[in-house]
Chain A
């Protein structure tokens, strides 16, 4: 998802950053950490109806019209629409990305909007991590506190990962980074216990499978594989990288 494009952009942009750094050290530093801390909460919030609509764009209408829809409130996610098919659609924010490293560049980016529709197994076993992170973020905890809190949550309260947990991320309106391709690509995500990405042939030349650095054991013990969907949820053609 967003973490992958961030990683790719970070790698591709590294030489440019180095070049800029030699001439203009301060801007280069800003480019490395454009969002060092949390922005005011209002910048992460959306109009309720707009958020419902955006959340639903994560999957084709045939799936999302009967899905439960969550919206972000001041203290966490709230159910805005009850569902009938077991899917849950939500617009995730930048803090669902990695905590550290190049992939963390958009962690506090208030513009990030990641609409996702989780299938029923993922809604039961992955979505609780979205709730937990978000709850601690909105409580103003530091990254270190949040990581500790998640570790405790994993030990005590996290439901076991269900086989077949997956999600749709096919919104043309997704905003995953500040680069030229905010909406990266339409894709599906598959959640597994931690494993070697090679088990799915991920990230090998010409393989359509990618390993998302989103969780990867830091600290959530989950791997996320991605496969391009080829089309946005509205049926129009999407780029495939």
Chain B
């Protein structure tokens, strides 16, 4: 009896140590080699209706209600809702982050965007191509090389003039470092200088992200409200 109690207690303590200890062990491992490989596909997938709703939350309802909506399936993105206004809403996954982002394959990332018509025409092909490579299980290096080759061969388009998107979902999740960040607009250009828009300078409301290997420059402007009209944090 006492032996049984001891065994049970020891098991519980062991379990607690394991459970409590796991996050720090995992975090240590993550820090060394965060998301170095693809998680099981199901971790990137979502309930279809939930994904449609999340995609639409990227822009005010006045824009997203008539937008085309794409959802991620086992083999890539599929149209879930046909649109009427030329906008396209989609929830991008972590493989659309920069290749050197430590959370590149974080299965928890959810990045809803609503792209305007020039953005949908010229940016979605990149989303689809990158997703295809990720779902095919390519290594990060091979994905990088494939995307570079696709642009070199002009199989992927450069941003059209006026290509932009809304990223104003309160539910967006960029991962542990940035959480849901802030609502913002993004504007895409063929690769150009940061200073083109005065981006990244002290006091400038414009931020910049230089893609690599994609020959694309993304300018980002924070806005004050989420897509539902509620106020966003000021910083």
Task: Check A201 against B224 for contact (C-beta < 8 Å).
Answer: no
Give min CB distance, B220 to chain A, whole Å. Answer: 11
Q: Residues of A contacting B116 with CB < 8 Å?
A: 199-201
- Verify B202–A209 contact, CB threshold 8 A: no
Residue among B166, B189, B223 with the most chain A CB within 10 A? B223
Residues of B within 8 A of A61 (CB): 202-203
Determine whether A227 belongs to the interface, using a CB cutoff of 8 Å to chain B.
Answer: yes
Nearest-neighbor residue (CB-CB) of A87 within chain B: B198
A221 within 8 A of B: no
Is B201 touching A60 in the complex (CB atoms < 8 A)? yes
Q: Is the CB of B203 within 8 A of A231?
A: yes
Main SS at interface, chain B: loop
Q: Which of A28-82 contact B (CB under 8 A)?
A: 59-63
Cα A237 to Cα B231 in complex, Å, equals 14
Complex interface residues of chain B between 195 and 227 (CB less than 8 A to chain A): 195-198, 201-206, 221-225, 227
In the complex, are the beta carbons of A206 and B197 less than 8 A apart?
Answer: no
B contact residues around A19 at 8 Å (CB): none
A164 at the interface (CB under 8 A from B): yes
Interface pair B189/A237, CB less than 8 Å apart: no
- Flag whether B52 is at the interface (Cβ < 8 A): no
Residues of B contacting A85 in the complex (Cβ-Cβ under 8 angstroms):
195
A6 at the interface (CB under 8 A from B): no
The answer to whether B117 and A199 have CB atoms under 8 Å apart is yes
Check if B192 sits within 8 Å of A201, measured CB to CB: no
| Closest-CB distance, B225 to chain A (whole angstroms) | 7
8 Å CB contact of A199 from B118, B221, B228: B118
Q: Is B185 an interface residue (CB 8 A)?
A: yes
The reply to whether A206 and B195 form a contact with Cβ atoms under 8 Å apart is: no
Which chain A residue lies CB-closest to B195?
A85
Show 11 A/B contacts (Cβ-Cβ < 8 Å), sorted by A: A60-B201, A85-B195, A163-B189, A193-B161, A201-B63, A204-B62, A207-B59, A227-B185, A229-B205, A230-B223, A230-B224
Beyond A164-B189, A198-B85, A206-B228, whether A60 also contacts B204 by CB under 8 A is yes
Interface residue ranges, B against A (CB under 8 Å): 59-63, 85-87, 114, 116-118, 161-162, 164, 166, 168, 185, 187, 189, 192, 195-198, 201-206, 221-225, 227-229, 234
Task: Indicate if the CB atoms of B196 and A164 lie closer than 8 Å.
Answer: yes
Contacts of B166 in A (CB 8 A): 201
Number of interface residues of A (CB under 8 A): 41
Measured between beta carbons, the chain B residues less than 8 angstroms from A229 are: 205, 221
B227 touches A231 (CB 8 A): no
Q: Which residues of A contact B118 (CB under 8 A)?
A: 199
**Please, which residue of chain B has its CB at the minimum distance from the CB of A240?**
B224
Whether A204 contacts B63 in the complex (CB less than 8 A), given A199-B116, A228-B223, comes out as yes
- The answer to whether B86 touches A206 (Cβ under 8 A) is no
- Cα(A230)–Cα(B232), bound, Å: 12
Residue of A nearest to B190 (CB): A163
> Is B223 a contact of A201 with CB atoms below 8 Å?
no
Note all chain A residues with C-beta closer than 8 A to B196. Answer: 119-121, 164
Residue in chain A with minimal CB distance to B67: A201
**With the chains together, A206 CA to B228 CA distance in Å?**
7
Residue A174 interfacial (CB < 8 Å): no
Bound-complex Cα distance A235 to B206 (A): 13
B204's partner among A63, A121, A164, A204 (CB-CB below 8 A) is: A63
How far apart are A32's CB and chain B's nearest CB, in angstroms?
A: 32
**A 185-203 contacts with B by CB, 8 A:** 188, 190, 192-193, 195, 198-201
> Closest CB of chain B to A51's CB: distance in Å?
21
Asked whether any CB of chain B lies closer than 8 Å to the CB of A107, the reply is no
Q: Point out the residue from A188, A193, A206 that lies within 8 Å of B227, measured CB to CB.
A: A206
- Residues in B whose Cβ lies below 8 Å from that of A195: 162
Which residue of chain B lies nearest to A86 when distances are taken between CB atoms in the complex? Answer: B195
Q: How far is the CA of A209 from the CA of B164 in the complex (A)?
A: 11
